[in-house]
Amino acid sequence: MSGIPVTVLSGALGAGKTTTMNHLLENAGGRRIAVLVNDMGEVNVDAELIENREGGVAELSNGCICCDLRDDLEVEVSRLARERDFEYLVVESSGISEPAPVARQFTTGAASAPYDLDTLVTLVNAETFLDTVADGEEVETEDVRRTRTGQAERETETRPLSDLLVGQVETADVLVVNKCDLADEATLEATEELLGSLNPEARLLRTTEGAVDPGDVLGTGLFDADTTSETAAWRRAADHAEGDHADHDHSPQSEYGIDSFVVRARRPVAPAAFADFVRDLPEATVRSKGTLWVAGREHAFEYGQAGPSARVERGGQWVAAMSESRREMQRRMNPDLPWDDEHGDRRTELVFIGREQDEEAIRAAFEACLVAPGTEPDADPFPTDDEPSALR
């Protein structure tokens, strides 16, 4: 690794990010850490550690520094690389944002050169996670995008908190189940099983009061750009669901009722019927997602549901719908592309993750959405452009 390893710390409000930051600074073990936080005042670094504090930077006696993230992240991390000497950078993501926009600063951003994105860490509140992902509470989230002139611009939208939490979990390399002292063992095990279904590749840690071992979140080398996309997260969950019960007709439920299963079809869905199917999904289905073959459309659609929120977004054109020359070129470039002699790559693949789901009923309801290839739907609520559409 040539650059400074970066850890991005995410988690919903109340998960314990500030406490975890304090623990890392106070137990650095000789590591020189730079920490960028949304509000240094909330971190409350022990006064005995602070040797000097000015300009939004607290220099600590253990070789670490703590900085206020008051301005553009790209500006701050560039300034740090020029002016300070440190071995690790930890960036606290806002409790109302996903890790991806922060991560992009260290993979494709202008400030990425001195750094290597190393670990995406998400804190989960052990006491409340199960209830929160099933709740309909909404939160105003934020994202930072670049204008054509290169200026940082904050965008906000209102979305279900469950959708945000699931997104934070699915992109993590390390999942820290915090506040374990406030939850009983059954709740902890059920939470861990659900997290394992949502993101089977992530390392799971239990902590109390954010007391994580610095070696578990700093310089781990776990980040892989090819496995952190939404598509990769869906594929991992689908493979995990199949791996658990590949020889069974129905997925077994765990001791705590956590189960997952995959549905596949080489027939298109009627879009209006599928929208009704999604609206009728039971509360037991915490997460469902995947790729849709929609009747009358030449593009695949990406579908995602988390708790009470569900939406679809138009994806790329089916290779089977391309001209013969483009189709053959795409197949040569993608030799592992799932291909059917009759339908090409057109298919529906969905994974369903939840607690005590009625798999047979969900499968039957999904089958009722399927129509014959070539069917032109009477109604189509799906988007015709790149903007996602909410289904519920």
CA–CA gap between residue 118 and residue 6 (Å, rounded): 5
Give the residue extent of every domain in the chain: 4-224, 232-390
pLDDT at residue 248, as a whole number: 42
pLDDT at residue 287, as a whole number: 93
Is the CB of residue 222 less than 8 Å from the CB of residue 172? no
Query: For domain 4-224, which CATH number applies: 3.30.110.30, 3.10.180.10, 3.40.50.300, 3.40.50.2000?
Result: 3.40.50.300
pLDDT at residue 294, as a whole number: 97
pLDDT at residue 65, as a whole number: 76
pLDDT at residue 359, as a whole number: 94
pLDDT at residue 249, as a whole number: 42
Q: 342-346 long-range CB contacts below 8 Å, 24 or more apart?
A: 342/266, 343/266, 343/373, 344/318, 344/319, 344/320, 345/318, 345/319, 345/320, 346/266, 346/268, 346/293, 346/300, 346/318, 346/320, 346/321, 346/373
DSSP 311-325: EEEEEEEPGGGS-HH
Provide the residue count of the chain.
Answer: 392
pLDDT in tens, 4-58: 999 999 998 889 998 998 899 889 999 999 888 876 666 666 666 666 666 667 7
* Architecture (CATH level 2) of domain 232-390: 2-Layer Sandwich (3.30)
Q: How many CA atoms lie within 13 A of 258 on its CB side?
A: 20
Q: Which residues of the chain have pLDDT under 70?
A: 1, 39-56, 70-71, 110-111, 136-159, 226-238, 240-254
Tell me the pTM: 0.82
CA–CA gap between residue 80 and residue 86 (Å, rounded): 9
Q: 79-90 b/e with 16+ CB inside 10 Å = b?
A: ebbeeeebbbbb
pLDDT at residue 250, as a whole number: 47
